[in-house]
Structure 1
Amino acid sequence: MESIDTELAAQIRNDIILGTYNEEERLSEARLSDKHNVSRTPVRLALRMLEHEGLIRRSQGRGYYVNAPKVADIFQAVQVRGHLESLAARLMAQSPGRHNILPNLENAIDEIDKLVNAGKMDDASLRLMQKQNAYFHKTILQNCGNEYVGFTCSRISHLPMLEAGSMVFDQQVLSTQEGIERSLFRLRLGNSQHKVIFEAIQSGDAVRAEGVMREHSNTMVEYIKVFEKRNDELTIKDLIGYSGLSVTSDQETTE
């Protein structure tokens, strides 16, 4: 069970990302305490967490001010995550103990195959796909042998689309049967890349594992570019709306 300050930080984080607070708006400890019906101590701790994440900034003697992420920030962070994940794949392929972890990766791939072959794109199916996809990516990050890779990824995981293994499902595309078929094709392609990454790690081909993982991770960058073409001024809220996913969804259910 999460502590009060951690839960409170998640609520305030969600409000910042969704635009409930304006850029540079001052966050009052007293008002937050009243709004969330908690004492000022957890509020103070929650604000320190959010300052550490870069979502708010502290002005000496004046309190905290909102520093909401912008689409450009998400774009840059996605690129960083892609490099970190590709490095993790390379390191895992070089790890002598990788064979103990391979069955877990293979199981995630098999589960995604089953879900895609079922042909369903309802919310329940999408979240199950997300769960298995997240497991695949997190397993590589956590077993690459370099704890700083996973740690660095975790520093940006609070941003939309940045949790390891996060997936984006374009709700406009899913509104038609043709769009559903296109999305299923994309999922099959993504899982085929998982299989190539798995085989490269299994055989110890570090260069191939790194290269395919980088290509795989760039999918999110391409999606942001697609969404930018639809909007003159794309916002974080637009990204969340297109994906149809809540920023407060369970960490285990988030490509």
Structure 2
Amino acid sequence: MPLTGQAARALIELRARIFTGRLRAGDRLAEIPLAEALGMSRTPIRLALSALQSEGLAVPAPGGGFAVRAFTVREVDDAVALRGQLEGMAARLVAEHGVSRGLSRRLHEALDQGDAALARGVLDEEALDAYGAMNTALHAAIAEAAGNAPLSRAIAAVEALPFASASALVPSPGSAPQRHRLLTFAHQQHHLLVEALEAGQGTRAEALAREHADNARRNLRLILDSGEAEGLAALITFSDAVA
């Protein structure tokens, strides 16, 4: 279940601090100092730290609590590439099996939610919450509908690697309108993917899912080259970002 409200904001901000090096490998993630720094209670911090562990960004620390896990850019890049391969396989299987009415309803509900989040024209906390929840739901629906248990387990394992999850948010360079255009383009890919699934176009669906992940890898390099990190207002969905 995606985090919302203050817990989601805490998770996004902590991801950004890890990604930009403000929190470094081995740094302790203590609830009280983080709650004070982010201006919120310990409960959303606790939920965010648990989510960071699930995403492979935090590890248990000696004596309790968590610490930032060490990882490399290559590890992130490889993990996202692998997720693209696996989700491409899932998309092909769904297209070949046929999209049921129930799945079609779930996919179109997700598309509508993404459209509504982007229609506001600003990427504030509410819009990011809505888009992130939509993105997670859409990717999960496709993986589940593939009907392949080993594949689902493989996708889940990859999503436990740093920044490889479909719901991960990271800083993006550029102005606010540019960031909005990036997400709009990414969501257009969602529409094209659902269109291919419902048309039974397995090869096209697989290619679109892989391209979706390849865009994320290009955006990672763009972010690193820019050196820009602006916090929550500059965050977009890494798994959906484009160069």
Shorter-chain TM-score bucket reads 0.5 to 0.7
Q: Which moved more, 1:193-202 or 1:180-189?
A: 180-189
Distance in 1 of aligned mates of 2:124 and 2:131: 11
Residue aligning to 1:144: 146
Residue aligning to 1:19: 24
The one-letter amino acid of 1:224's match is: L
The answer on whether the counterparts of 2:88 and 2:206 sit within 8 Å (CA) in structure 1 is yes
Identify if the C-alpha distance between structure 1 residues 191 and 19 changes in structure 2 by more than 3 Å, giving closer, same or farther.
same
**How far apart are 1:168 and its partner, in Å?**
3.9
What is the Cα-based RMSD across aligned positions, in Å?
A: 3.5
TM-score by length of 2: 0.65
Identify if the C-alpha distance between structure 1 residues 125 and 195 changes in structure 2 by more than 3 Å, giving closer, same or farther.
same
Q: Secondary structure at the match of 1:120?
A: coil
Residue aligning to 2:70: 68
Residue aligning to 2:126: 124
Instruction: State the Cα deviation string for residues 143-195 of structure 1 (Å, max 9, x = none).
Output: 1111222211211323332112434452x53xxxxx22222222221111111
Identify if the C-alpha distance between structure 1 residues 74 and 134 changes in structure 2 by more than 3 Å, giving closer, same or farther.
same
Q: Secondary structure at the match of 2:158?
A: coil
Residue aligning to 1:214: 210
Residue aligning to 2:189: 193
Residue aligning to 2:114: 112
Residue aligning to 1:91: 93
The one-letter amino acid of 2:196's match is: A
Residue aligning to 2:180: 184
TM-score by length of 1: 0.62
The answer on whether the counterparts of 2:71 and 2:162 sit within 8 Å (CA) in structure 1 is no
Distance in 1 of aligned mates of 2:180 and 2:86: 27
The one-letter amino acid of 2:111's match is: I
Instruction: State the Cα deviation string for residues 79-109 of structure 1 (Å, max 9, x = none).
Output: 1011111111111111245443011011111
Is 1:230 aligned with 2:226? yes
The answer on whether the counterparts of 2:98 and 2:200 sit within 8 Å (CA) in structure 1 is no
The answer on whether the counterparts of 1:55 and 1:69 sit within 8 Å (CA) in structure 2 is no
**How far apart are 1:73 and its partner, in Å?**
0.6
Identify if the C-alpha distance between structure 1 residues 135 and 108 changes in structure 2 by more than 3 Å, giving closer, same or farther.
same
The answer on whether the counterparts of 2:91 and 2:209 sit within 8 Å (CA) in structure 1 is yes
The one-letter amino acid of 2:164's match is: L
What is the aligned residue count?
Answer: 189
Query: Please, which runs of 5 or more residues in structure 2 have no aligned partner?
Result: 1-13, 31-52, 60-67
Identify if the C-alpha distance between structure 1 residues 153 and 215 changes in structure 2 by more than 3 Å, giving closer, same or farther.
same
Distance in 1 of aligned mates of 2:124 and 2:185: 19
Q: Secondary structure at the match of 2:159?
A: coil
- Pair member with larger Rg: 1
The one-letter amino acid of 1:195's match is: H
Distance in 1 of aligned mates of 2:232 and 2:214: 21
Poorly superposed stretches of 4+, deviation over 4 Å: 53-56, 238-245
